[in-house]
Amino acid sequence: MTNAATLLARADRLAAGGCALEAIAELTAANREHPEPEVERQLVRLRNAAWSELARTDPGPAWDAPVPDQFAGTDGIPEVPASECDAPTIRSAIHHHGGLVVRGLLSPEWCERLRDGIDRSWEAIRRFRETKHVDPAWFDPIDTSEYGLTMMARAFVMEGGTAYVPDSPRLLFELLEAFEVSGVKQTVTDYFGEAPALSLVKLAQRLLEPEATGGWHQDAAVYGTSARTLNVWLPVSRCGDVAPGLAMWPRRLDHLVKTVGTEGVDEYSAVADDVARLTEAVPPSCPVFDAGDAAIFDQFLLHSTNAGKHFTERRYGFETWFFAPSTYPDPKRWIPLVY
């Protein structure tokens, strides 16, 4: 068995020679056999450093060509079992209904493992707040000062029960492994026609309290309409009836709903009157999700947290935005990571 120091030294040499992608592959394979916090920590940094090496293959106008509706007659967001979730099915659901619910995307074993990882990462965050000491496995953020992301900004996001998955190297490793095993990475690659990239600030883990709320919005208001994106919204605990879930407007929008336009979070929130008009005409879908179910949609979906005064449990989950590298939004802002 090669020790971690030797692995990391070789990875440094590869990255210095412009082969960070090769270093990522080698460290990933080694960490599957023998997990090491320092290896996982370095993997996060290499995923950022390797952005310039990532291939960009624009599939051209055929990518967005019209597709038949596989769910004709469905009023809400269509649903399929994970065994039937492929790129053509996702494309059809998004083009005609706004999104897709996938049942059983992750196994119960993976959900339990990821819930434990979320708990461990939040415990590491609490220790960091008390001691200012990082934990190489569970909370060790990369230096993002060149992107304008400070620890104070991170703390603001955390107040709402959200943290960035890449700030927890082991949690990121395990989430990406879960996506690999379940076929998510290959499906997203098929959907884009190129291997996907990630964004540090659009890869979130959530531990939401029962009373959590959120406004209606489209993510296209945040990073634009030209990027090709796919969001895998993935709870790893039951939600929608006992914990805050997801409300989705079940129609395709190819434009932005008017936003409030003020500073802060409200800058991207949809105008309430416009949301009321749309949801009166077509009621939103508010599915109940079991742990491991998922919603998949792009940046045009109008959606919100499904809040309820009767909820009694917290929601454990992830929100992973995948991006086609050929249309990635401003990398100086969105902190790209190679998958």
Residues 258-317 have pLDDT tens digits of 998 765 556 789 999 999 999 999 999 999 999 999 999 999 999 999 999 999 999 999
User: What are 102's two structure tokens?
Assistant: 């996938």
Query: pLDDT tens digits for 44-58?
Result: 999 999 999 998 888
Helix (H, G, I), strand (E, B) or coil at 234: strand
Closest CA relative to residue 170, chosen from 40, 48, 47: 40
- CA–CA dist 157, 252 (Å, integer): 29
Amino acid sitting at position 280: E
Residue 52 vs residues 28, 47, 100, 198: alpha-carbon distances, Å: 19, 10, 32, 13
Give the DSSP H/E element, type plus range, for residue 207.
Answer: strand 203-208
pTM for this model (two decimals): 0.96
Residue 8 vs residues 5, 28, 34, 53: alpha-carbon distances, Å: 5, 12, 14, 19
| CA 266 from centre of chain | 21
Provide the 10 A C-beta neighbour count for residue 29. 10
User: What are 314's two structure tokens?
Assistant: 């917290």
Overall average pLDDT of the 333-338 stretch = 96
Query: pLDDT tens digits for 132-169?
Result: 999 999 999 999 999 999 999 999 999 999 999 999 99
